[in-house]
Amino acid sequence: MKLRIYSLILIVFLASSCTSSFDDLNTNPDKTTQATSAMLATKLILGLDATSSPSQWQNEFLVKRIFWGEQMDNYQYNRIEKGTFEYITYLMNAQKMVDFSSESDMNGYTGLYYFIKGWYFYRATMDMGDIPYVEALDVVNHRFPKYDSQKDVFKYILDDLSKANDFFSKSKQSFNGDPFYNGEPLKWQKATNVLRLKVLMALQKRADDTPDLQVKETFASIVADNILFESNDDNLQKNYSDINGQTNPYHRSSTRSIEVYAGSKMIIDPLKEYKDYRLFYYFAPAQALVDPDYLPEGQTLLLPNDWNAYNGLAVEAPFDQEQKKIATYMHNRPNDVYRLSYVGVPCIWLGYADMNFIIAEAVERGWITGNAKEYYEKGIRASFEFVRKTVPSEYNNNMPITDEYIEAYLQGEHVAYKSSGNSNDRLKQIWMQTYLAGYFHMNRDAFYNHRRTGHPAFPINPETNLNDAKDKIPVRWLYPDNESTTNKEQLLIALRNQWGTEVEDVNRLMWVIK
């Protein structure tokens, strides 16, 4: 008996001593064991561009500004497959970020929470249509969240963003962990309002028949409150640097296929036609035409600032036909600043130029009163200023953008605002400039814009179109795989509600663009 007690004590002793020492051993002293709001905020903010699936580098193919020479790309040839809700799960962390905050920075973090929430749900609904919203984040009570109609989702998004605006405006103190605005609530408030304008403009087709969303009224009041971007300095943008881990993602050391990225006719043709110097900042001249080593017989050597050294490829043409031009170095790669500089060009997620174009469209549509021409020109100027500031002069192919040049450009035949023409012509000017300014920025927006406005029109070639409907560009992503495996009942209800059938199809119009 005694022996048994001793052995029991020994076992208890051993067990307890073991566990404590294992605990010590298993704790990595280089990692934190406690999450803070600041840490969560950093991760969430840097993750804002994780919304594109599968990855951002394909988005320029999706919006037809780049032809990819590696192989036939699905997006470039109009094949859209499954979307993702994955990033909505990040919002669990966003809630924690608010929970961990202190009284002094709670308003800031709460504002950020609503901003991020609005941001992610906006992307998800724009990609797929109806999505779970109300029950999406409450997994404890709703294992099978029901889908909300897109109209309701937009209503909730607008509510969230309005709350974000309120919390940021109440916030007296900056919050930690923000690599973009240094936690400055005013800057975030401006970004929030710009996002609100974008969301409202996305609703443009439903502005008239959906009075309860108050699209025009809300838009007008945001513009009237005027807590908006005042220059490119306010942009919500991702800057890169030559520090390891923060480098420009298109640098050829990380994106090797950048060598076979080729500017498309979609963007190069208008740039050439408008005598737009951004051409020389966006692209590199065709190697074969400026480098004697590659010069084909019978061609004359050109200077990098010669307009003829830039010729877009047709994204809709048979792959091998255009790829031959890449094989002979006749294509225009992205400017060396994208390929060779670790600092690269910042990627804009919400920009001053874009904001001005959105407001110009609102004026043109009579949502607000104002001078559309002024906003339009402000937008163009902002884009030029951004380009000239972010692309160092060694990369500009000897075509410096001067103030005089910008003024002259604004008077150009195609660019000068067609004040005397009809409204549709002017809208097309605005949309074209939005498209030209968006090169390598927030590029899924250009897809949404195209879907809504149809301009600039994406070329369709039934011979090469990989979409099932040969004469169409797909307009949505399919619902994610795990929705059909784990939440099927609700998914089927959502499909029936939207299209009266249980068919999943990339060519069906969702409510917001009907």
Partner 1 sequence: MKKGARYDWIDIYDWDRDPDGNIIHNGGIPIKQSFKSKVANLSPDLVWGITNTLQYKAFTLILSIDGRVGGNSFSRTHQMLWNSGAHVDTDNQYRYDEVVNGKNTYIGEGVKVVSGSVQRDPDGNIIEDTRVYAPNDVVVSYEAYISRYHDSTSKPSRQNVLDETFFKIRNLSLIYTIPKSLSSKMRMSNASIGLTGQNLFLWAKEYKYADPDKGGSSDSSYGYENLNSPSQRYLGVNIKIGF
Of 230 and 481, CB closest to partner 1 = 481
CA distance 207 to 202: 9
Min separation Cβ 21 and partner 1, Å: 29
Question: Residue 505, interface with partner 1 (CB under 8 A)?
Answer: yes
Min separation Cβ 189 and partner 1, Å: 40
Question: Residue 501, interface with partner 1 (CB under 8 A)?
Answer: yes
Spell out a b/e string for 146-180, using b for 16 or more CB atoms within 10 Å of the CB, else e.
bbbbbbebbbbbbebbbbbbbbbbebeebbbbbeb
CA distance 170 to 388: 36
Window of 17-25, 375-383, 414-422, 487-495 that interacts with partner 1 by CB under 8 A? 487-495
Min separation Cβ 54 and partner 1, Å: 9
CA distance 118 to 112: 10
Question: Residue 465, interface with partner 1 (CB under 8 A)?
Answer: yes
**Residue selected from 16, 71, 102, 402 as contacting partner 1 according to rule CB under 8 A:** 71
Min separation Cβ 328 and partner 1, Å: 12
Min separation Cβ 60 and partner 1, Å: 17
Diameter of the chain measured on Cα atoms: 106
Question: Residue 492, interface with partner 1 (CB under 8 A)?
Answer: yes
Min separation Cβ 423 and partner 1, Å: 37
DSSP code of 468? Answer: S
Min separation Cβ 344 and partner 1, Å: 24
- What single-letter amino acid sits at 392? P
Q: Which two tokens stand for residue 149?
A: 């109609």
How big is the chain, counted in residues? Answer: 514
Question: Residue 323, interface with partner 1 (CB under 8 A)?
Answer: yes
φ/ψ of 6, rounded to 5, equals -60, -45
Write the CA distances from 343 to 42, 248, 250, 346, 389, integer angstroms: 20, 6, 10, 8, 13
Of 41 and 136, CB closest to partner 1 = 136
Window of 10-18, 132-140, 285-293, 466-474 that interacts with partner 1 by CB under 8 A? 466-474
Window of 242-250, 383-391, 440-448, 478-486 that interacts with partner 1 by CB under 8 A? 478-486
Please say whether the beta carbons of 359 and 353 come within 8 A: no
Total residues at interface with partner 1 (CB under 8 A)? 33
Sign of the Cα torsion 369, 227, 448, 480 reads negative
Question: Residue 427, interface with partner 1 (CB under 8 A)?
Answer: no
Please say whether the beta carbons of 88 and 136 come within 8 A: yes
Q: Which two tokens stand for residue 235?
A: 């942009």
Question: Residue 486, interface with partner 1 (CB under 8 A)?
Answer: no
Q: Which two tokens stand for residue 423?
A: 């409204």
- What single-letter amino acid sits at 14? L
**Residue selected from 294, 307, 319, 405 as contacting partner 1 according to rule CB under 8 A:** 319
- What single-letter amino acid sits at 304? P
**Residue selected from 8, 12, 81, 211 as contacting partner 1 according to rule CB under 8 A:** 81
What lies within 8 Å, CB to CB, of 264 at 6+ separation is 64, 65, 66, 67, 312, 313, 314, 315
What lies within 8 Å, CB to CB, of 125 at 6+ separation is 131, 150, 153, 154, 157, 512
Min separation Cβ 267 and partner 1, Å: 23
Question: Residue 394, interface with partner 1 (CB under 8 A)?
Answer: no
CA distance 376 to 364: 10
Min separation Cβ 470 and partner 1, Å: 8
What lies within 8 Å, CB to CB, of 138 at 6+ separation is 145
What lies within 8 Å, CB to CB, of 471 at 6+ separation is 460, 462, 465
Window of 2-10, 27-35, 312-320, 360-368 that interacts with partner 1 by CB under 8 A? 312-320
**Residue selected from 56, 171, 434, 464 as contacting partner 1 according to rule CB under 8 A:** 464
CA distance 97 to 84: 23
Please say whether the beta carbons of 453 and 445 come within 8 A: no
**Residue selected from 479, 498, 511, 513 as contacting partner 1 according to rule CB under 8 A:** 479
Question: Residue 178, interface with partner 1 (CB under 8 A)?
Answer: no
Question: Residue 495, interface with partner 1 (CB under 8 A)?
Answer: yes
Question: Residue 262, interface with partner 1 (CB under 8 A)?
Answer: no
Question: Residue 52, interface with partner 1 (CB under 8 A)?
Answer: no
**Residue selected from 484, 493, 497, 509 as contacting partner 1 according to rule CB under 8 A:** 484
DSSP code of 58? Answer: G
Please say whether the beta carbons of 128 and 491 come within 8 A: no
**Residue selected from 138, 217, 394, 468 as contacting partner 1 according to rule CB under 8 A:** 468
Question: Residue 296, interface with partner 1 (CB under 8 A)?
Answer: no
The residues of the shown chain that bind partner 1, judged by CB under 8 A, are 70-72, 79, 81-82, 318-320, 323, 462-466, 468-470, 478-479, 481, 483-484, 488, 491-492, 495, 501-506
